[in-house]
Structure formats: structure tokens, C-alpha cells
Homo-oligomer: A and B are copies of this chain.
């Protein structure tokens, strides 16, 4: 088992990565604080893993909230109904919310933990690659609004992230690919050597090779944990983790939540950011080709043909990184180094939108 730490002073917490963690009652009792549990999962994941987790959680009261599966249910309406469950079961402020599932489950359970009785303890048990490498770490929680992705939410850190890599064995291939987009992101923003490693190992990852996946998860979490430790509330560096996300969120919102998987949209969005970085003279043709090739080998979409450039731009204007009316973009200086900027020629953004949308 790998153990990493998100260093946030008295709110620091561990990320545990390895096989068999859901069966490890001793580990679970160490990392899931005592108390009644609100177990939040969805209709796909609960039948596979809720029984195992409940057994591991031992002799305590466990109340389940099973959500419908998919990004289209990550709404205020589902959130409101989710909160009815601890109320109906009279869970007190000393309860623990445990999220068992992917990014949607984790985001909604975390937001519920942030708001129930103004905040209760939260534990993430991510079961998708995307959640294990990205969304379960760092405390961003929330729901979508029809007008924009993740527009309503809270920062609420978990007290532990327990990533049982065995759960990836039941992950549909499309979800695995979507998760790989976020893995590739860490190489692009921060670690050229990791990007090189991904070029060598992408087929192993796609084939579900456990050793390769574990390495990818650990390295991704290391990079994310370090950045979150330095900038929890995204006043600076943390925005780099949004490479591809301003484009990607526009895709997800415009297409209708759930049409694209989040990771798919981020994959296409990263190629757009790379293309625009090439347009601005930061990235060489050769590096742009490498980015495209790796995303292509991961079977991720490379453009968003069904959405017009102007529609995409409208949604991008609702991005949370907008400041003083300017869309701040995460772009690349080179593979392994990203930067955030509000300063770029409007024509470069327009050219990028026209190249990849419509």
C-alpha cells in the first residue's frame, strides 16, 4: 500500500492507495472515524462494493443514500434529496459521510458533508480511476448548474482518501480512458518525465495492468497533494490543475451533462489548450503532435464537432476562473510546465475554438 499525505496543518489527511483496502477492517477502523455513517454511493457501484465496505466498517449504524448514476444527476435536486436521508434517519453532527463511487458521488457526498448541520466529517472511497487520481483529493465538492459546471459547491476536505485499486477491475473501458485524461494532465502541467512514462506505458494502462495503474495513481496523487498543500483555495498555483477544464466544462455544459464523460471533455480540452499554446508560440509542432498522439492512443476524443465555437465561448465566460470579465486560461509553456494567464490575443482563442469546435 502507498500512503501519501495532503499537508494542510491540522486538517492534513492521508491518501491510501493499494489492493484489498475495502476488505481491511483494521485499516478502515483506523481511517474512518467512529460514529454513525452516511454511506453515499450510486446504483452501479453499491451492488458491487457497498457490502464489502459495510462489512469492513464493522459494528456501527450505517445509513445508505444510493444516487442514480451519472453526471446528469449531479444537481441541486439530487443534492436536496440526498440531504433528506440523514435527516430522516436523524444522523447527528458527529456522523461520518463516506463517499463510495466516482467523481459524481464524491462531489455530491462531499457537498452534503460540507452543508449537513454546517459540516460533518467526510471520507472518500473512490472507485473510478478519475476519482482515484483527481476528484477525491483536494476538497472540491459541489453540483452542476444548467448554466455551468460545478458552479455551486464548497471546499470541504476529507479526513482520508481510501483508494482500493481492486475496484478498477470492474471499471468500464470508457471510464478508464476518461480517468487517463486526468493522469495525462499531471504530466502536461508538472512532470515531463511522467509524460514520457505514460507514452511508454499507455497500452499497459489501457489493458488494466495493476502495477502500471498503481504507479499512475500514486504519481498523480503526489502531484495533486503537493499543489493542494501549497494552495488549498486556488488563489494561485492550484488553477494549473484546471488544464483543459475551461474548454472541457464548456463541452460538458453545452452538450448536456452526461453526454460526455468529464475526463473525455478534459482530454479534448487539453488538446485545445495545447493547440492554443502552439498558436502562441510556446509549444513546438512536435510537442503538440506528442500530446495529440498520446490522447489518441488513449482513445479520447480530440475535438467537439457538435458544438459551435460561439456556444463554447459563451459557456467559457461562466468559468470560475473569470476575473474582471477576462477568461483566465491554463496554457502550456512546454510539456511538463503549465501557466495561468488572462493575457492572450482574442484571435488566438478564436482560432483555437474554430479549429476544435463546430
Binding site for B on A (CB under 8 A): 76-77, 80, 83-84, 87-88, 90, 92-94, 114-119, 140, 142, 145-148, 150-155, 233, 317-318, 320-325
Contacts and interface: CB of A to CB of B under 8 A. Distances in A.
Nearest to A81: B76
A234 B142 CA distance: 24
B323 A93 contact: yes
Contacts of A148: 87
Given A76-B80, A76-B83, A142-B118, A317 B90 contact: yes
Q: Specify how many copies of this chain sit in the oligomer.
A: 2
- Residue with the greatest number of chain B CB neighbours at <10 A, chosen from A145, A147, A152: A152
A149 B271 CA distance: 48
Contacts of A320: 92-93, 117-118
B154 A87 contact: no
Contacts of A321: 93
A121 to B, nearest CB: 13
A94 B140 contact: no
Given A80-B76, A119-B155, A87 B147 contact: yes
Contact of A151 (B87, B151, B152): B87
B94 A324 contact: yes
- Residue with the greatest number of chain B CB neighbours at <10 A, chosen from A76, A83, A115: A115
A335 B87 CA distance: 35
Nearest to A83: B152
- Residue with the greatest number of chain B CB neighbours at <10 A, chosen from A93, A117, A154, A321: A117
Contacts of A233: 119
A118 B140 CA distance: 8
Nearest to A324: B94
A251 B87 CA distance: 18
A352 to B, nearest CB: 22
Given A87-B147, A115-B154, 6 more contacts: A76-B80, A92-B320, A92-B323, A94-B324, A114-B154, A115-B142
Given A320-B93, A322-B92, A116 B151 contact: yes
B115 A153 contact: yes
A235 to B, nearest CB: 11
Contact of A119 (B88, B117, B154, B324): B154
Contact of A145 (B83, B93, B152): B83
A84 B148 CA distance: 11
A61 to B, nearest CB: 10
Nearest to A80: B76
A80 B76 CA distance: 7
Given A115-B154, A119-B154, A154-B118, A92 B145 contact: no
A118 B76 CA distance: 14
